[in-house]
Amino acid sequence: MSLYEYDLYLIRELEKGELLPEIINSAFLEAVNDDEALILRQITCFFDEFINQAVSSSPLRVVKLELDNVQFERFLKSYAQEFILWLQEIVEKLDIVYAFLGGGSSSSYYEEGKITSEIIFKQVGYLVENGVVEIVHPVMFFSERIGKGKVCNLAKKSPYTVCEMPGFGCLLLLIDGSIEDNQIEILDPGSIYPRLRNYFVKA
């Protein structure tokens, strides 16, 4: 049985309108039924959209994509570049402000950082509003309108692979392997979680 352990979150300001219909209409997802779709014809995901108003001054629309663990990891071992390009295109064309992908099956960084989904979504409004990063994930996209590019500059000194996207922001990847060689593994922050986070809180 396939496991859905990688959750990709795509986040945009509430006033910009519903996000999920745009994702589907732009063919970034190929809908199979009312809550299931395909990414790049090979990765099954369940999808949902909800509103996050944990920070009343910064309400957000959040699309959650629950990726099939086995299919996703297999895809990254042969078509890593295709997935990264898909992610970059979706955040650019749909004006995503912030996106992140959590850890996979081990999820040890949740234990190390004592992170819960409640904490993640309480702080994300402040992240978008003020550019303060309280929680880090293996994959993160930050638009330039978050902290006026400050986060991307801090990340350049970290162990993340930084894919700069001029005019849009940056995509940060904690990975083993090479995008150019089309073979990567997304790493779980695990025991280095506190050190990783420290890169984003430095002045």
pLDDT digits (tens, 9 = 90+) for 82-123: 999 999 999 999 999 999 997 654 455 655 556 667 778 888
User: Is 105 part of any domain?
Assistant: yes
What pLDDT score was predicted for residue 35?
A: 92
Residue pointed to by tokens 């420290």: 198
Range of the domain at 10: 4-198
First to last CA, the chain: 46
Closest CA to 186 of 83, 96, 73: 73
* Cα 168 to Cα 145: distance, rounded to the nearest angstrom: 8
Closest CA to 5 of 94, 151, 106: 106
User: Is 65 part of any domain?
Assistant: yes
User: Is 187 part of any domain?
Assistant: yes
User: Is 49 part of any domain?
Assistant: yes
Closest CA to 198 of 157, 146, 164: 157
Cα separations (Å) of 150 from 60, 130, 198?
A: 21, 11, 14
Based on the structure, what is the number of domains in the chain? Answer: 1
Using an 8 Å Cβ cutoff, are 11 and 99 in contact?
yes
What pLDDT score was predicted for residue 111?
A: 59
Residues of the chain with pLDDT under 70: 1-4, 103-116, 202-203
pTM: 0.92
List helix spans (H) across the chain.
Answer: 20-25, 69-76, 80-93, 108-113, 117-130, 150-155, 193-198
User: Is 203 part of any domain?
Assistant: no
User: Is 109 part of any domain?
Assistant: yes
What pLDDT score was predicted for residue 147?
A: 83
* Cα 109 to Cα 98: distance, rounded to the nearest angstrom: 20
What pLDDT score was predicted for residue 191?
A: 80
